[in-house]
Structure 1
Amino acid sequence: MGDESTVGIILAGGRGERAKPITLQSADYIRSKALIPFAGRPLIEWIVEACRDQGIRRFYVVAQGVENRSQIKLVLGHGERYGVEIDYSRARFDPYNVGSGAATLHNLEQWNLTGTALVLPVDSLFDFSLDRLRAAQRDTDAVVTVAAVERTPEEIAGKYGVMRTTPQHLVCGFLEKPELGAIRREFPEITQPCGPNTLATNAGMYLIDCARLRLAARTPELIRLAHQRLDWGHDLLPRLVGLGHPVTVEPIARLGDLGNIHDYLQTLGDALDGRYPYLDRALGAPLSADPRYWIHESSLRSKDHVTGTTLAQKIADGSVAIGPGVRIGRHVEIGAGVRLRSTDVGDGVDLHEGAQVEGSVLGDSSVIGPYAHISDSYVGPMVQVESELRAPVRLEDLTAVGDGARLWSGTRLSGVSVYPRLQVPAVRGVPSGTQLASSDDVLRWV
């Protein structure tokens, strides 16, 4: 277990622009990234519990603005339900939280922290060992220990920054989102037959020595940047290294990004496949081990309104097929002929006969009409998919439908984002990447 003197600092003030419409409750009301629904719970609950299980008992949440702060506080309170203590950044400091690095430094001063802290964002899922991070920091006497994920050059190219390290695992340089050719030139060892085939990339989680970091940040340049714009990866780490402060790297087992639709669905699939042990333990024993899935008992007892048979009966007679990597929440009604695979089904969902869903999320109280085909897509809470046999709805290839939207029979969308509460008639041919953010946007394709 981790040392209980380590505290958690959760950076929760981002606006979640990349994850829209998941982070939208309406076209002009942003849901905190911390409250993104994930496997039946708000994401921040999984983060708090994962850290608590490794010995962290006190958390500081850096929020931003009245909506962000109040939304998170309604979920977490002051930590009573989780057996921890949670404090929140003061509202008067919001104007100074200009970037992840600035938010960290300003709030270290606010809370007068001098011990060890684990700094982490709310748009990622981590599989990590706090003990290993602490050991790496102790062995190198580092001010900051960067949690790192090993990635191949192909995964890195144009998307992730790379850290150069010494044989002692201290960071000595950075390469910001290099192209594949630059990676091979700067790291020729990865092309050698017996050389490593991965490089360390920043996971966005940092174990910090608070007292030493506060002292290190008291230079004119860092003070100036902390009042303008100071991010951890782009600004703070390179400057600490440039000033000669020891920054070390320690690999973690896994990082799942939830900042966009593609990464959200991929991370959810990995979680339901058992690749995040702490989340796997929290979900409990699956109802079936092969194929592996979870179904709440209230849903097993639920009868569909057409045949009057329970889900348990339909699974037994083969009229409903549940594949691997499926989680079904409470009071879900599922009709005959439904096929589910690698999908998270929220509470109170209605899945009518013949619907087929794979690699997707169905939000709480959504209604999926007969014979709908949904693959690799996100369907938000209270969405109505009015499909039918002669005019089925088809959603695929990273389509995302925001809260309370309504899709009419015959709609076909591929790679399209639909903002909350929109009415979408039977449209086809909308180009991938389109955002339907208003009724005017929808009318262009009718």
Structure 2
Amino acid sequence: MQAVILAAGEGNRLRPLTRSRPKAMIPVANRPIIEYVIHSLLENGIRDIVVVVGYRKEYVIRYLNQLDVPIQVVVQERQLGTADALRSAESEIAGDFLLLPGDNYISPTSIARIKTERNAMLYTEHPSPSNFGVVVIKNGFVEKILEKPEDAPTFTVSTGVFSFTPDIFGYLRSNEIPDAIAGMLADGEKIRAIPAEDWQDAIYSWDLLKMNARMLRDLAPATSGTVSTTASLRGRVRIGKGTTIGENTVIQGPVVIGEDCEIGPNAVIMPQTSIASRVKIEPFTYLKDSLIMDDVTVGSHSRIVSAVFGQGCILGDHTTTYPKEAFFEVGGGVTKSEFGAVLGDGVRAAPFTTFKNCVAGNNVSIEEGRVVVGLIEDNTRVI
């Protein structure tokens, strides 16, 4: 069986993190999201995989070229929606196939439930259904899909994972897959509704924290770096080669730390934290429930909780992220959230900076002693 993975989109609501990378390539638990999708397909014996790329396509292509399994790459020249992305792959499709988003996690068990079905969809329950395609199901079959309705009639949503025959291409008359589904249903075609076993999506940048925690549940512990004899590692902890864990540092898993990092001494890394490569965590700093990307420095005596830090951030000593519930306006809508900070790439913060429920754009610079709240646009200087 073939599989088509759609990885052409930007993920606008995850800005600033997607300004420089497609959503499918955001690292979660130190692996790009699309890697989890490919792994789930391989676990089901599906190796004939087509990936549709578009926005920042060079990032995806470079990653796919490093894999042991051959992947067919198709380019969507302009980002005109999911149906257009699927049309781009039509010439590569030889028969029945699975269609999957490259920026969601889907478990191997979920794929096993749908891979032998013809014209089927995986669905799940979600507390915020209006962010997705809401599905009305009757007697085990899809009755209709409502794309991001303001008033959702049900909490049942589409995961974006479908099993299709090549007949679907005759229904791709608009730019979105739900319109093709509506056409099929109008013609009397049946689409079986199958519950997913496990599925995760990150609609907003702070949702990456929940996805990170989920991915760390399956972490395989391993230590390749240098760990001080006075350091304490508890639970599932994975440490990459070239990384140094300093004296009296405490790490409570699940925690993953990449390659060539400097942690501590006297640091505390608490559960649900992923630290990428070439990261420096200076002494007496506390991290919990956070996602730290490559080449980040966090100064000494800092307290980082519920934070996502983009690549290359440099944060001075006594930096604090303070989780606080607030309303955010994103993508034309308003949503309530609680987190400490989301920092884009290259943020610079002087000592004694406090972030409270803050999204700071790429290359923001913050002077000493500031309390930063809300949305800060790219390239802003906070004085």
- Pick one of 144, 164, 169 that aligns with 1:214: 169
Which structure 2 residue ranges, 5 or more long, are not aligned?
A: 323-339, 368-379
> Is 1:116 the equivalent of 2:96?
yes
Residue 194 of structure 1: aligned partner: none
Residue 365 of structure 1: aligned partner: 278
> Is 1:61 the equivalent of 2:56?
no
**Offset, 1:431:** 4.1
Contact residue 156 and residue 178 of structure 1 kept, 8 A: no
Over 3 Å counting, the alpha-carbon distance change for 1:122 and 1:130 in structure 2 is closer
Q: Distance in 2 between matches of 1:163 and 1:320?
A: 48
> Is 1:416 the equivalent of 2:341?
yes
Contact residue 125 and residue 258 of structure 1 kept, 8 A: no
**Offset, 1:13:** 0.8
**Offset, 1:12:** 0.9
Over 3 Å counting, the alpha-carbon distance change for 1:361 and 1:130 in structure 2 is closer
**Offset, 1:146:** 0.9
Q: Deviations over 1:354-386 (max 9, x none)?
A: 222232221211000111122222222111112
Q: Distance in 1 between matches of 2:85 and 2:60?
A: 17
Q: Distance in 2 between matches of 1:51 and 1:125?
A: 11
Structure having the larger proportion of residues in strand = 2
Which structure has the larger Rg?
1
Letter in 2 for 1:170: F
> Is 1:171 the equivalent of 2:145?
no
Residue 289 of structure 1: aligned partner: none
Q: Deviations over 1:101-128 (max 9, x none)?
A: 22113421x33x2411111112111113
Over 3 Å counting, the alpha-carbon distance change for 1:101 and 1:343 in structure 2 is same
Secondary structure at the aligned position of 1:48 is classed as: helix
Q: Deviations over 1:201-242 (max 9, x none)?
A: 2111111112x112334xxxx2xx2xxxx2224x33334323
> Is 1:347 the equivalent of 2:243?
no
RMSD of aligned residue pairs (Cα, Å): 2.8
Residue 146 of structure 1: aligned partner: 121
Residue 239 of structure 2: aligned partner: 328
Contact residue 40 and residue 329 of structure 1 kept, 8 A: no
Letter in 1 for 2:59: Q
Which structure 1 residue ranges, 5 or more long, are not aligned?
A: 1-5, 25-29, 138-143, 188-198, 275-279, 284-293, 303-309
Residue 161 of structure 2: aligned partner: 205
Residue 11 of structure 1: aligned partner: 6
Secondary structure at the aligned position of 1:354 is classed as: coil
**Offset, 1:132:** 2.5
Q: Distance in 1 between matches of 2:365 and 2:263?
A: 30
Residue 250 of structure 1: aligned partner: 194
**Offset, 1:94:** 1.0
Letter in 1 for 2:48: R
Residue 232 of structure 1: aligned partner: 177
Paired residues, number: 351
Identity value in percent: 21
Q: Distance in 1 between matches of 2:81 and 2:124?
A: 22
> Is 1:94 the equivalent of 2:77?
yes
Structure having the larger proportion of residues in helix = 1
Over 3 Å counting, the alpha-carbon distance change for 1:176 and 1:76 in structure 2 is closer
Q: Distance in 1 between matches of 2:359 and 2:216?
A: 29
Contact residue 347 and residue 365 of structure 2 kept, 8 A: no
Q: Distance in 2 between matches of 1:419 and 1:148?
A: 32
Contact residue 272 and residue 327 of structure 1 kept, 8 A: no
Q: Distance in 1 between matches of 2:250 and 2:284?
A: 10
**Offset, 1:129:** 4.2
> Is 1:295 the equivalent of 2:222?
yes
Secondary structure at the aligned position of 2:77 is classed as: helix
**Offset, 1:351:** 0.7
Letter in 2 for 1:423: R
Q: Distance in 2 between matches of 1:266 and 1:439?
A: 25
**Offset, 1:7:** 0.7
Alignment TM-score, normalising by the size of structure 2:
0.81
Q: Distance in 2 between matches of 1:103 and 1:440?
A: 37
